[in-house]
Amino acid sequence: MRRYLLLLLFASVASAAEPTGVGLREEARVATSRGDLDAARRLLTQAAAAQPDSTSLQLDLAAVAALRGDAPAAISTLEKIVALGAAPPVERDPRFATLQGSAPFRRVLQAFSQIREPVGVAEEMASLTGRTGILEGIAWRARTGDLFLGDVRHRGIWRRDREGRVARFSAEEESLLGVFGLAIDEARGLLWAAMSAVPEMEGFTPEMKGTAGLAAFSLATSELVRVVEVPDDGREHGLGDLHVAEDGTVYATDAKAPVIWKLEPGAEEMQRFAEERSLVSLQGIVRWRDDFIVADYHRGLFAVSPSDGRFRQLAHPPGASLVGLHGLVATPAGIVATQPGITPERVVLIVPSENEDRVKSVTLLASAQAGMVDLGLITLINQQPAWVAGAGWEVPSISGETTPRGRKVLVQQTRLP
């Protein structure tokens, strides 16, 4: 089971009237289950028109065509997935049984095989063995060489020092939620963490559902300095990533409610900085030139104006998919993103235009490299992008056993062009 479990849990499922894909896709799945393939095709066609770069939507549309016996439409749609650089495991998908053995389907499988070949560089920066948690967030402190990793399952933060020694940074007795994104505020000596209550964390109870907040730790002593909860507005919340501005203001994305929250220095409560109801699952956030750039897992990249909080979706080049983006980090070359929502998972360099109304280019930096699955968030280590691989969402024992088996979690790094 892929990491999409968490991301779908976080998603605010859209209504059928909203043509952004999620609600329409769910309706199509219901229609398919009851055998109404014509309705499923109609719904998926509408959803795919709104999100043409969603490879998962295209896959469902191709499957419905195959189930309806429309082989040409199925092949044509699978070729759109090829053009987007994705390669889902259709050869093992029973929905495509009627295409097996045909020459057009063999050509699609050959194209998928080529896409699954390793591309770029994913060097192993660190290997953490015996891990039983879900390691999602990552931050690096240049001053000391310490690497910090947020643990969702064990509700804490781990520190790996420059000698490679790993120890728990946050105290076990602290009442944290599952720890997701991390960010360092060196000027104030703080490590910030985005926290959310999810069923995959230890000690989860139904009463915790939908609670989230920010936690700040002293970098010098690891002491928990403060915890600030997301305001109770009657909705469920799930903070996943965050950005610390130069003045110490913390901005955090909410993957359950379509909100970016703001916590100003000295403030007692978070404020709603920006909201866009059409969004589904907000993920990474970075500052880029005069705006913020944020990723919505199902809809792509958006620029957000600091002056009025207005969201503007960024158009992108033909043949590029920006669906399934997770972590973002700003670099001089552009914005580097992990993209676990596409198969094979990858890391890409995204260059926005000068006025940020579109994306000029999307460059594949790494894909299908050894260990490059179940990608988490991303940071910079010595000015080069580094991310978590093997985060733990895909491990069945994480939620299915009292004592999960230990495994290896990697920190991988690529090089900017």
State yes or no: pLDDT of 2 exceeds 50: no
Question: Residues 97, 150: one domain?
Answer: no
pLDDT in tens, 52-91: 899 999 999 999 999 999 999 999 999 999 999 999 999 9
The closest of 271, 266, 227 to 252, measured between CA atoms, is 271
Whether 75 is covered by a domain: the verdict is yes
- Residues 68, 198, single domain; the answer is no
pLDDT band, very low/low/confident/very high, at 10 (cuts 50, 70, 90): very low
Which one of 115, 146, 177 terminates a domain?
115
Residue 100 domain-assigned?
yes
Quote the mean pLDDT of the chain.
92
Mean pLDDT of 4-8: 40
Euclidean distance between CA atoms 108 and 191, whole angstroms: 47
Q: What is the CATH number of the domain that holds 213?
A: 2.120.10.30
pLDDT category of residue 12 using cuts at 50, 70 and 90: very low
| 218 shares a domain with 87 | no
Strands 271-275 and 259-263: antiparallel
Task: Give the lowest-confidence range in 270-274, 317-321, 329-333, 359-363.
Answer: 317-321
Both 220 and 365 in one domain: the answer is yes
Q: Please count the structural domains in the chain.
A: 2
- Indicate the residue among 60, 91, 115 that finishes a domain: 115
What whole-number distance in Å separates Cα of residue 3 and Cα of residue 326?
A: 11
Q: Is 265 exposed, middle or buried (0-12, 13-18, 19+ CB in 10 A)?
A: exposed
**Whether residue 167 is found in the same domain as residue 95:** no
3-state secondary structure of 365: strand
Q: Is the pLDDT of residue 284 over 60?
A: yes
Same domain, 196 and 286: yes
Per-residue model confidence as pLDDT tens digits over 151-207: 999 999 999 999 999 999 999 888 899 999 999 999 999 999 999 999 999 999 999
What is the reported pLDDT for 139? 98
Last residue in a domain, options 48, 80, 115: 115
